[in-house]
Structure 1
Amino acid sequence: MAETIRNTGAEGLLEILCYGLERDAEQRTANRLGDRSRYVGLSDIAKMLDCPRAALATKLYTTEHKNTAEALKHQLLLRRGHWFEKGVRQALMGYCFFPLSQLEIESRYGEVPIKAHLDFTLVADQPQPTVRILEVKSTVRLPTTLSESYAMQSGGQTALLKAYWNLPVFNLVQDTGEVLHHRTFPEMCNECLGVSLPDASACDVQGWILCLSMCDAKAFGPFLPEDTDITRCLDMASEFWETMIALRDNLLNLNTIQTVQGLSPLCPSCLWRKDCPHFKGSSHPEWEDTLAQFIDLKTQKKSIEAEIRELESRLKAAYQLSHTVRGEWINAGNHTFRVIPQNGRVTLDRKRLNEELEILLGGQEAQMLIARCEKQGDPFERLYAVRN
């Protein structure tokens, strides 16, 4: 081991990191989630809303990356979510909350095995019985609105929890390594947290989604337990399971499965994009160099813009620390700079406007007024390019 470390160069260190992350991910999945090919998870159903073909391919098949750099990038993307979960758990415990982590709901819908894994479940019996399910999502950028797949996953979690409240379908791996199997939800809360809960109808149950980027966070919710959510989840789980079995038994071809509609933000990083029918078209290899140059320049642009933001933040901080009178120029050799306050942009809150107009005019009149005031811009073309 010591000799290996001593003789390892830069590329070798990255290979060690990549291999270690892959091994740790395999072990974590086996311990926490079991054999994922033997059941349908709520995350599978959520992915199916985004792209059925990619969701099923991820469930059934494995893919090899071209090189260590590509494999490491993929592992870091996947692991970031797990690292965020650890950080959120530490934050909750720092506030003296002691959540149930990765509480599992194990059930069957006909012949379909279904499992839901709840990132964090917060429980209290005072001042009133309360349950909060917190799902953690790692995002490059914080979304303005929540995707349908995320919303459905959280709605499904709350609906399943309430529907199976008094059934022995809850499992939990404790920090000690002890596994608690086949408890009801009240039994699990009493055994692990010392909290006594009444029937589900007397509890305030909500789901929340916490989106985290590398430097910010945003919460979405609440998601309440609805009968429509559980019906939709179970029906989609049945469809997913039947299609997965047919693919596994070679009764279906993967390329006959529906793909995403339009170009999803997930398409460029999808592991199953190379032979996806969604990207099938005519062949023009003579344009490869131009496209490669275009994509490289776009990548450089993103990197340069990030560097500009970083330097701008540092200069603003330096200006504040210099105790210069606000608005006064600072001379720095051949360059001069200053920081001055700016008014924020004025934006229109369309949701608030619509609500106010509905109060004044009524729903139909408000919609007609908004429609008369809307203006659509001229059509335009947008170039989409991804690297195979």
Structure 2
Amino acid sequence: MDIEKVLLIAIMHEHKDEEQFYYSLDELEALVQTAEGEVVETIVQKRPAPHRKYYVGEGKLEEINQLIEEKNIDIVITNEELSGGQIRNLQEQLDVRVIDRSQLILDIFAARARTKEGKLQVELAQYAYMLPRLHGQGADLSRLGGGIGTRGPGETKLETDRRHIQNRMDDIKRRLKQVVNQREQYRGNRRKQQLFQVAVVGYTNAGKSTLFNSLTKSDSLYEDKLFATLDPLSRRMKLPSNLEVLLTDTVGFIQDLPTTLIAAFRSTLEEVREADLILHVIDVAAPNRHDHESTVYRLLSELEADTIPILTIYNKKDLIEADEFVPSSHPYLIISALESEDISGVKQDIEKLIKEQWTYFSGFVQEDKASKLAKIRQYAILEKQTYIEDKSGYHVEGFVDPNHAIMKEIKEFHQE
């Protein structure tokens, strides 16, 4: 498919932070690149509020029409959500496809969903977005489309009939419920195994998947693109004490994520709620780093995951002057996810934080019960294991989850 030429249009509202505004435009351009488009031109208009009919003022429409003709623009994308009426009016005036930021994000998710659950959730989010905008989308929805903003439900001929869409949404919800039940079963099995769970979260493109791969030595997808990871992926990770924990990579967070998508992806993001520890990965060189942090914290709060202990990982240290860096979250590490020494440091800090949550134990294990040690080593952090010859057994010290089944066996030999 040929790369589509894109024109971005944005309204700078009164009292809006200028730096924040231009950063959101840069982010919109990065989203377009992720969707395989090319931003040819960006038009910014200062207005107290978007035009109710056309989003931009009527005078600006002439300038936009001229640019569309001169630069052979294929698609116009706005930096804010449009109503169905605004979409229809703009398409009539400009005679090219018009979509908004939310539709672009939904489109990227549609292209990147891999699992059955991921695909269903994206489709549900797209229908939820389209339903109130049917009047505006017009003929665009009723035919198989191609290009940015047309992936997903367009693959099966989409009727512009509300009842048809509502029925389809109900069907997807039923199917999702089955998938979610399967996921809950899977989570239940994990809980029975009682592995300590670590979730990797962060703003999109912060380097989560690179860190995940380095920690688990796996080869999950990682690209310098927004939303490279969409479906949650879990792998076992070994810590310095040989304790195995479960590490889960999650979809990247982003500002102004379409509300339909947050709702649809709740069950996927609920992986985070299952975690015993969160690794919050931040691109330390991002110009809007503080906004990225607050966006993630806000979404964690919405997911009711804000009480889980967090280790903040400031990634991409090679892109900044480390001595000028001031962290805004604690505890923290500043690393490059590609350096093995830094990866060792992350594992050590994870282990340190686990020990803070767990209970210390020490005691003596008779030699004839040494098989217990293998089990303890699997589920606890064993710090010392010293053979005492005249007693024919082992002095052991370490840390254990006080709620773990292994605690029963530890209590048999634990000495205060």
TM-score normalized with structure 1 length: 0.23
TM-score normalized with structure 2 length: 0.22
